[in-house]
Structure 1
Amino acid sequence: MIEDIPAVADLEQGATYHRITLHEEYGGTQFRGIAPCKDHPYVFLFAGDAGEEHGYRDEFRGDTFIYTGEGQEGDMEMTGGNRAIRDHREDGRELHLFESNDEAWSITYVGEFEYDSWFTDRLRDTNGNEREAIRFRLEPVDDEVAIEADDLEALALETLYDRAKGNSVSESELEGATQMRYSRSEAVREYALRAAEGVCQGCGEPAPFTGRDGAPFLEVHHLHRRSDGGPDHPDNVVALCPNCHRRVHYGEDGKTFNRELIARTENQ
């Protein structure tokens, strides 16, 4: 169902909107993936499968969204929309990410993000030639959850699950205690890794190696895309080895495999 365009602060994650109506309300070009709004403090970002034919590749890596910059031919440059992403805080603008759907001009709101950093990657341009592509690491803007602990690792698994759902501790619990603040996504990630106990929840094999932090190396996978609702919830994540994680996103049977993972989680 296509929703009416509300105030940007009232956009709902998972809700579907009409892109043309969005631009009529706030401005920004209708035909680019990066759309800074001239008269409003927003930069709208659009991701989707259609961009892959021009060499754009966007994906979640854990809680971080990797967004490929603009420029169809040759090496990308830090100008235009790319600069607008990098400098959005200095410019006083918010980044809002949408996912394009199969239906023309239909978009789903993913959420508000902040620029973290950028790097270059060798990707093909619209002509199939390899080039230096700019890719941005974007972090979700989440409500923080107050947690009474020196760090997340100090929490019991059951308590961590409760915090990952977004339940904050009471004022009485916080009285006299050291209060740390973590985003909900951090708590969800920690829960997924802890619950897996070092075993891939895809293939059932132990993690292939130990990470620099001394823990078994697994990657957190969201069973349902953020745009499909409920991304920051412990019931929506599993921990996978790198091979199974790539299989979900790039394998010929990736969608089928993801459905299997969802079924396993629901039957636990």
Structure 2
Amino acid sequence: MTIDELVPGQILRNDEIVSIFQCAPQGGMRRSKRTNSLVLISDHTKALYEDRWEGDVFHYTGMGRVGDQKLDFQQNKTLAESTTNGVDLYLFEVFRENEYVFMGQVELADQPYQDQQLDIENNLRLVWIFPLKLKENTQPIEIPQEWIESKNRYREKIAKKLSDEELKARAKHTNKKAIKRSTSTTAYERNPYVSEYAKRWANGICQLCDQPAPFNDKDGNPYLETHHIEWLSRGGDDTIENTIALCPNCHRKMHILDRKADVEKLKKRVRERLSSLA
């Protein structure tokens, strides 16, 4: 197979990417001088970077796992200069291990910009974000719902393994907006750190009815569900300020009745939580 034969939505193994692009077998940004290409991989089964789609623009985090990232560092520079250096850009996303989904050939949609994220040592640092868009005449693929669910499961497992301090840091310093993807139905990719943080703070007690979780999950933990007080579909943020843990009955009640008094109670609970942490 050649690069020109790749079709958006096609799933490749890592060794196939290496063979087609003549690039290195590891890393998120893989430069190949042989094919004059830069392969960009956004691996959602890893926890470090917060790459995301906003509309038709993919916000891709640059290279550098520790400390502030530099724009003139290795492939960050290659990507930043891609409008003039003639290097072709190819984007892959990973939703399940060793399944690289080809999204299409991309180009810079705008100038790179800086944002704050945690590095691998949980220190807040500056990163470079590269806004990317699919090249003209390339249609975005429809993501199967199962890919989103697989991604969420990976990230939830990672979140559960974090210490309370690590989880708090990840939950606080994260993108506020839930990622909206085009699937067979509209799907939101919720932040696992925010969700796990709300559950740990609830400590097994529903924050609406004040009763213990009705049962434990398969790992023996009290089963509660996270709820966004201001719904994501109404523009609510995916943050610790807008997320709380409820038993299944109360969660269903909020989505069916959405009573003002219940909403105010949940908002008060969150305010009390945040004031106790101040």
TM class by shorter-chain length? Answer: 0.5 to 0.7
Of 114, 118, 131, which residue of structure 1 is paired with 2:107? 114
Alpha carbons of structure 1 residues 135 and 8: separation in structure 2 relative to 1, 3 Å? same
Offset of residue 23 of structure 1? 1.0
Q: Which residue of 2 aligns with 1:90?
A: 84
The match for 1:39 is: 34
Structure 1 segment 121-136 matched on structure 2, within 5 A: 121-136=115-130
Answer yes or no: is 1:224 the counterpart of 2:186: no
Larger radius of gyration: 2
Question: Is the contact between residue 3 and residue 21 of structure 2 (CA under 8 Å) also seen in structure 1?
Answer: no
Deviations 1:149-184, CA, capped at 9 Å, x for gaps: xxxxxxxxxxxxxxxxxxxxxxxxxxxxxxxxxxx7
Segments of structure 2 that go 5 or more residues without pairing to the other structure are 141-177, 185-231, 246-278
Q: Taking structure 1 as the reference length, what is the TM-score of the superposition?
A: 0.52
Q: Of 1, 22, 26, which aligns to 2:21?
A: 26
Q: Hey, what does 1:61 align to over in structure 2?
A: 54
- Percent identity, please: 20
Structure 1, gaps ≥5 residues long: 1-5, 145-183, 186-218, 226-238, 254-268
Structure 1 residue 220: deviation in Å?
10
1:10 aligned partner, one-letter code: E
Please point out which of 8, 13, 21 is paired with 2:8.
13
Alpha-carbon RMSD across the aligned residues, in angstroms, is: 3.1
The residue matched to 1:50 in structure 2 has which SS?
coil
- Per the TM alignment, residue 46 of structure 1 is displaced from its structure 2 partner at its CA by 0.4
Matched, 1:74 2:33: no
* One-letter amino acid of the counterpart of residue 117, structure 1: Q
What code does the residue aligned with 2:131 have?
R
- Matched-pair contact (CA < 8 Å) for 1:34–1:81: yes
Contact 1:124 1:131 (C-alpha < 8 Å) held by counterparts: yes
2:235 equivalent among 242, 247, 250: 242
Task: For 2:244 and 2:9, locate their aligned partners in 1 and report how far apart those are by CA, in whole Å.
Answer: 26
Give distance in 2, aligned partners of 1:25 and 1:92.
Answer: 19
The amino acid across from 1:136 in the alignment is F
Instruction: Please state whether the residue corresponding to 2:45 is helix, strand or coil.
Output: helix
Amino acid at match of 1:60: W
Q: How many pairs align? A: 158
Tell me how far apart the structure 2 counterparts of residues 10 and 251 of structure 1 sit (CA, whole Å): 45
CA distance in 2, matches of 1:83, 1:242: 35
Residue 41 of structure 1 deviates from its aligned partner by 1.8
Query: Hey, what's the Cα distance between the residues in 2 that align with 1:252 and 1:46?
Result: 33
Verify the 8 A CA contact 1:16 1:107 in the aligned structure 2.
yes
Stretches of 4+ moved more than 6 A in 1?
Answer: 250-253
1:223 is aligned with what amino acid? S
Deviation string for 1:215-248 (max 9, x for gaps)? xxxx9943329xxxxxxxxxxxxx954327x49x
Distance 1:40 1:111 in 2: 16
Distance 1:252 1:47, change over 3 A: farther
In the superposition, the TM-score normalised over structure 2's length comes to 0.51
